[in-house]
């Protein structure tokens, strides 16, 4: 009886997988950004397809800053276009293009994932927060049952997606950005979720952070030149949401020069948030740890240069 049940389960699983492969044979997905030539998203989603057996086309599209709305509209007019990822600098604009928002996208005020449903409704989601939270815990940068003091550098679309999830996980979150107007907007929209504090400067000598997350541009930001040493210790962990396959990002170079022992780029976050996009599109979540190891291995084998 057990063997029959097992075989029945395997047969149904394979039939369902075959059905998914057939119906998704011609569907289209893309990532939109500017710049976009560095993006690993097409590579990652090709791995997802290979790993899961769900076949779909995924490519990167470079679009001009002032033509985002038009390009998205044209893309989704294609009956085979079913979803998209949105990267810098369009996450805030994507929020306002959505016909419907998931709860986490609504709270964040930014969107990094679109899904077109069977009624041609464009659903906006934000998987940045769940992606980085998963990776921070995978790296043991956030300990279980411990409230961490976290500093977020930057106040753009990525920061807006990350901050709510960290607050809801119980952490104390501080935000610093050179443009104070943006940090005030974040505080106004998100302070009810938890302990959120806005820093206008680094003058408070009592601040000592457990985790510092950079969400600013991959290009070295002048913020770091004025960053005092008293804000971190040998136990502080550093995380850059940017990534560079060939060398450390500018932020991580800066961290290591100042004695940081625990630091990571955002490749794990990229893979994790992509997995949650995959879940939205196909109602299927691949085991993320296996997926991260799988993608890292593939990247090393291919020796990609960016």
In this predicted structure, the answer to whether residue 231 has a pLDDT above a threshold of 50 is yes
pLDDT of 294: 81
What pLDDT, in 10s, does the model give residues 129-183?
999 999 999 999 998 778 899 999 999 989 999 999 999 999 999 999 988 899 9
In this predicted structure, the answer to whether residue 201 has a pLDDT above a threshold of 50 is yes
In this predicted structure, the answer to whether residue 223 has a pLDDT above a threshold of 70 is no
Task: Report the C-alpha dihedral over residues 182, 187, 193, 195, rounded to 10 degrees.
Answer: 120
Q: Yes or no: say if 29 and 82 are a contact pair by the CB < 8 Å rule.
A: yes
* Span 274-299, average pLDDT: 87
Integer Cα distance of 221 and 153 in angstroms: 10
Confidence class for position 218, pLDDT limits 50, 70, 90: low
Stated pTM of the model: 0.86
Sign of CA dihedral 120, 282, 40, 261: positive
pLDDT of 73: 97
Integer Cα distance of 26 and 23 in angstroms: 8
Confidence class for position 205, pLDDT limits 50, 70, 90: low
Binding-site residue set: 39-41, 87, 103, 112, 128, 154-158, 177-182, 241, 243, 266, 273
> What CATH architecture applies to the domain 130-265?
3-Layer(aba) Sandwich (3.40)
Q: Say what angle helices 288-302 and 41-52 make with each other, to 10 degrees.
A: 120
Task: 14-21: list long-range contacts, CB under 8 Å, 24+ apart.
Answer: 17/53, 17/54, 20/53, 20/54, 20/282, 20/284, 21/53, 21/54, 21/55
In this predicted structure, the answer to whether residue 25 has a pLDDT above a threshold of 70 is no
Pick the CATH number of 2-126+268-302 from 3.40.50.1000, 3.30.70.20, 3.40.50.10860, 3.40.50.1820: 3.40.50.10860
CATH 3.40.50.10860: which residues of the chain? 2-126+268-302
**Comparing C-alpha atoms, which of 95, 53, 51, 58 is closest to residue 75?**
58
CATH 3.40.50.720: which residues of the chain? 130-265
Q: How does the average pLDDT of the chain come out, rounded?
A: 86
Confidence class for position 19, pLDDT limits 50, 70, 90: very low
- Residues with a catalytic annotation lie at 91
Parallel, antiparallel or unpaired: strands 196-199 and 28-33: unpaired
Q: Tell me the two tokens of residue 45.
A: 């989603």
What pLDDT, in 10s, does the model give residues 240-279?
999 888 789 889 998 998 888 999 999 999 999 999 999 9
């Amino acid at each position: 009886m057990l063997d029959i049940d097992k075989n029945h389960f395997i047969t149904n699983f394979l039939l369902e997988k075959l059905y998914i492969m057939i119906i998704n044979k011609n569907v289209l997905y893309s990532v939109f950004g500017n710049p976009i030539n560095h993006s690993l998203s097409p590579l990652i989603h090709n791995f997802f397809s290979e790993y899961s057996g769900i076949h779909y086309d995924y490519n990167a599209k470079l679009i001009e800053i002032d033509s985002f709305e038009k390009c998205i509209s044209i893309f989704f007019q294609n009956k085979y276009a079913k979803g998209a990822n949105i990267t810098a600098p369009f996450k805030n604009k994507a929020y306002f293009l959505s016909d419907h928002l998931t709860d986490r996208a609504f709270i964040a005020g930014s969107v990094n994932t679109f899904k077109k449903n069977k009624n041609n409704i464009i659903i906006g989601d934000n998987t940045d927060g769940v992606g980085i939270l998963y990776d921070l815990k995978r790296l043991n940068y956030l300990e279980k049952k411990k409230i961490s003091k976290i500093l977020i550098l930057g106040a753009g679309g990525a920061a807006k997606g990350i901050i709510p999830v960290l607050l809801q996980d119980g952490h104390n979150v501080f935000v610093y950005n050179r443009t104070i107007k943006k940090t005030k907007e974040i505080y106004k929209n998100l302070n009810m979720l938890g302990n959120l504090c806005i820093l206008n400067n680094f003058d408070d000598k009592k601040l000592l952070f457990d985790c510092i997350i950079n969400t600013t541009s991959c290009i070295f930001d002048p913020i770091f030149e004025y960053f005092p040493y008293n804000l971190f210790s040998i136990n502080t962990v550093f995380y850059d949401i940017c990534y560079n396959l060939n060398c450390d990002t500018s932020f991580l170079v800066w961290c290591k020069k100042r004695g940081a022992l625990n630091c990571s780029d955002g490749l794990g976050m990229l893979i994790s948030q992509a997995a949650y996009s995959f879940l939205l599109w196909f109602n299927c979540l691949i085991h993320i740890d296996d997926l991260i190891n799988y993608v890292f291995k593939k990247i090393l084998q291919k020796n990609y240069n960016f």
